[in-house]
Structure 1
Amino acid sequence: MTCVECGRALGLPSGTGRPRRYCSRSCQSRAYRRRRDEGRLAASAPQAAVDRSGEAGSGSGSGTGDARADLVRAAIGLADAHGLGTVTLRAAARHAGVALSEARRAFGGRDRLVATLVQQLLVRRRGGAPPSDSPVRTLTRLAEEEWATYREHPWLVSVLASSRPPLVPAVLDAARASTEAFEQLGLDPPSALARYIALSGYVQGMALMLLAEHEQAGRSGTAYRAWWAEEARRLDRTGARRRHPWLDAASGGRLPATFDADVDTWFRDGLVRVIAGLTSSDDHP
């Protein structure tokens, strides 16, 4: 038997009574929250087509491979529209028109489904690197590709900005390409890994600050422009804008209207400087 939430083995049942369905209280609580969120989405979400046998069909009636692709597309759509917290095997199956039993056969549990989303989105964005690319260009390209993926799917950074991200091939390949670029500059492997972690921290930190929070505010109905207007009035009332002239210098009264364009400018302005510092030859062995 396995946990219906995460797919981990539950071991042999002990004693009598109702069989266990969850491996821990945290999984039980997570399942409750997801069922609650799914209920809220049900009214606005299209119902899956149901065949005559009473199970959700795959739409085309094709094999497991097509069902997996449908489930991944549905899960990405759910995460983009409502946040990663609403993505479950049950919700993805319903939106994809796939039987829940087939979704469980395909992925086993939610963690594997999320790892598949990470793999697909990172591979989709990856471009080819010219063999003659310099280490600096390689590092810049990799950072830009990661940023562009977060730009399109802000929820993704919450999965990867972790000490235990899903170590799917795309994540490992990006880490290898970055560390090899640093090694080409003369760094030993441990130093190259440390520089890669610093660069990754910059990209993910900017995405968390500028993209994920902004996207969350948009979903909750708190528009960034309205938030900034209210904050500007509050700062005026308290005199904070007089004490902190950088607020006007930073916004110039235009920040709310140009936020989406400015985040790319802010990211790239810092990226140039971060990479310049991390690839400086002053402290290379």
Structure 2
Amino acid sequence: MAVQSEPPYLRIVAEIRRRITSGELAPGDRVPSTRGIVKEWGVALATATKALTTLRLEGFVETLPRVGTVVSDRAPAAPVKARTQPEHDLTRERIVRAAMDIADTEGLAALSMRGVAARLGVAAMSPYRHVGSKDDLVLLMADAAFGEARYPAVPPAGWRARLELGGRTLWSLFRKHPWLTQLAPLTRPLLLPQLMTHAEWALAALDGHGLDPVTMMDVHVLLYGYVQGLAVGLEQEAQAAATTGVSEDGWMEQQAAALNSLVASGRYPVFSRVTASLADGYELRFDELFEFGLGPLLDGFASVIEGGGPGPVAPARPVRR
């Protein structure tokens, strides 16, 4: 009788477990991501997800949003038997939350229905009893993500304070779930109940100020686009780090020669002077950049909403018919 070979995911689990117990990987160190496992072992993405899930259930690793999977500081000295999730405990809510965890830590590209099943410890086809397809799952994830923040029943006084709160609320959600930026361009908005809550908040802040409907929509879209546009940078950096394994600082170090060449060329005098004046270099801090830009953006809106403010009043746009 032929001896059945060990499943590929168990071989991966055994090797990563060995690296942890031997001290090759210390607590807090990143373990190979799903993409890294796919590349190193030549397996499917679902197999990689199942391996990391097994290690997580055994207590060897933990997942940190936008960081990835790292060695747990409570990793056991020896493996413990992982417990699978009973099928009857599976719900749509648990599937959506597991999918969001994958997208938060590994990016939306790492998401698959089989991967979600592996993370939950259920059969590969079980999630389909609650969610029709991956596309349906992504929409449920987005609606759940946009619904994680609530606005006060009594809004702050004034349109500016209300828009400011709306912008900061959206930023906090995109900051937590940068994969939201991948779902839809401004020209094809997601028609989701929880996302409409944010639109309603912004439009209600503008209501009653004598603005025509097109201008109200323009202000709303500009605010949302500002938040989404900055959040794209967060997601792109996370994707680049996951794909290359090189951090932002590491990438900049690799570009030092190219940067020095551009500065030495003499073709960009202002750029050279500004960068030379940065004693500690320039670090792109997205949260600070968001705050820096939000004020001037609202100042620009004031010239339209209140009139007589800084800058020219935006010309009226023709209404499409």
TM-score, normalised with respect to structure 2: 0.65
CA RMSD of aligned residues (A): 3.0
Residue number among 259, 280, 292 corresponding to 1:269 in the alignment: 292
Separation (CA, whole Å) in 2 of partners of 1:217 and 1:155: 13
Q: Is the 8 A contact 1:58 1:97 kept in 2?
A: yes
Partner of 2:69: none
Aligned residue in 1 for 2:159: 135
> Residues of 2 paired with 1:255 and 1:267: CA distance?
20
Contact 2:46 2:115 in 1 (8 A): yes
2:54 and 2:184 map into 1 onto residues whose CA distance is 30
Aligned partner of 1:154 among 147, 158, 178:
178
Distance change >3 Å, CA 131–CA 207, structure 1 → 2: closer
Matched, 1:45 2:69: no
Q: Identify the structure with bigger relative contact order (alpha carbons < 8 Å, sequence gap 6+).
A: 1
- Give the structure 1 partner of residue 33 of structure 2: none
Structure 1 CA distance, aligned partners of 2:207 and 2:258?
50
State the 1:38 CA deviation.
2.6
C-alpha distance 253-123 of structure 1, shift in aligned 2 (>3 A): farther
Q: 1:189-228, CA deviations, whole angstroms, 9 ceiling, x for partnerless residues?
A: 222012111111111111113x112212222312111222
- Could you say if the C-alpha distance between residues 114 and 227 of structure 1 is closer, same or farther in structure 2, counting changes exceeding 3 Å? same
Residue 187 (structure 2) pairs with residue 179 (structure 1): no
Instruction: Go from structure 1 to structure 2 and tell me whether the alpha carbon gap of 1:130 and 1:249 turns closer, same or farther (over 3 Å shift).
Output: farther
Q: CA deviation at 1:253?
A: 4.8
Distance 1:247-1:212 versus aligned 2 partners, 3 A rule: farther
SS at match of 1:186: coil
Relative distance call for 1:132 and 1:43 in structure 2 (3 A) is closer
Residues 94-103 or 110-119, more deviating:
94-103
Query: What corresponds to 1:106 in structure 2?
Result: 130
Q: Is the 8 A contact 1:129 1:138 kept in 2?
A: no
Inter-partner Cα distance in structure 1 for 2:256 and 2:273: 10
Q: Which residue of 2 aligns with 1:72?
A: 96
Q: Report the equivalent of 2:193.
A: 169
Task: Pick which of 174-183 and 241-250 moved more.
Answer: 241-250
Quick one: which of 256, 264, 278 aligns to 1:252?
278
Candidates 225, 240, 245, aligned match of 1:201? 225
After superposing on structure 2, the runs of 4+ consecutive aligned residues of structure 1 that deviate more than 6 Å are: none
The answer for the alignment partner of 1:89 in structure 2 is 113
Point out where structure 2 has 5 or more consecutive residues left out of the alignment: 1-42, 58-82, 308-312, 317-321
Distance 1:186 1:201 in 2: 23
Return the structure number with greater helix share.
1
Match of 2:295, as an amino acid?
Answer: V
TM-score (norm 1): 0.72
Q: Which residue of 2 aligns with 1:18?
A: none
Identify unmatched segments of 5+ residues in structure 1.
Answer: 1-34, 50-55
Number of aligned positions between the proteins = 238
Based on CA coordinates, which of the two structures has the bigger radius of gyration? 2
